[in-house]
Amino acid sequence: MTTIGWVRHGITDWNVARRAQGQTDVPLNDTGRAQARALAERFKHETWDAVYTSDLSRARETAETIAKAMGIPVHADERLREMACGKMEGTTEDERIRMWGEDWNEMDLGVETDESMIRRGMGAVQDICLQFPGRRVLVVSHGALISTLLPVLVPGMCEREHLHNTSVTLVRQLDEEWVCDLYNCRRHLDAVNL
């Protein structure tokens, strides 16, 4: 039975400013690095076999911090990237309203579809399960990708709470189905002043 620990990357300045990051390569800020260190400390006391990560630096640095603390390998996979946000990338909602009006979200701005994210995300999950059958693998990715993929992996999962930076969601494969054992957990941040 394979277990995947989904982790959203640490916080960035664009997260704080509420800018659509999409696939723009925005680095962690100092708080995000502290979050990653707190998460690494949490995982040091658990058993994990590998870390997979999006190739974007905010996820990759989070993953590398965790993997270094545990002495396990990191595998970068561009299929784990955030949703491509097209013309929205780098903008805040106020800026989008100024540029395109109140109905901006009904326009074709080149935003990646859920189907596209699901296709690439599920491809990555299938490959992880083939590489590490019955093992425990952390996957560091992005809020939109994880939120879109979880209900597909775990049918009937209706949690829609915003995924927090460095939150942990555990899913485990049971025969042909996945079950969710933990959702959006961030208890590791209690130990640090963030």
9 assigned binding-site residue: yes
| Residue 144 burial (C-beta neighbours within 10 Å; 0-12, 13-18, 19+) | buried
Residue 24 dihedral angles phi and psi, to the nearest 5°:
-65, 135
Active site residue 188: no
158 part of a folded domain:
yes
22 assigned binding-site residue: no
Residue 40 dihedral angles phi and psi, to the nearest 5°:
-60, -40
pLDDT of 65 over the 80 cut: yes
75 part of a folded domain:
yes
Annotated catalytic residue within 64, 82, 89, 112: 82
What is d(CA 115, CA 138) in angstroms, rounded to the nearest whole number?
A: 23
Active site residue 46: no
- Rounded to two decimals, the pTM is 0.95
Q: Which domain CATH number covers 35?
A: 3.40.50.1240
pLDDT digits (tens, 9 = 90+) for 38-61: 999 999 989 999 999 999 999 999
12 assigned binding-site residue: yes
Could you tell me which of 6, 1, 5 has the C-alpha nearest to residue 48?
Answer: 5
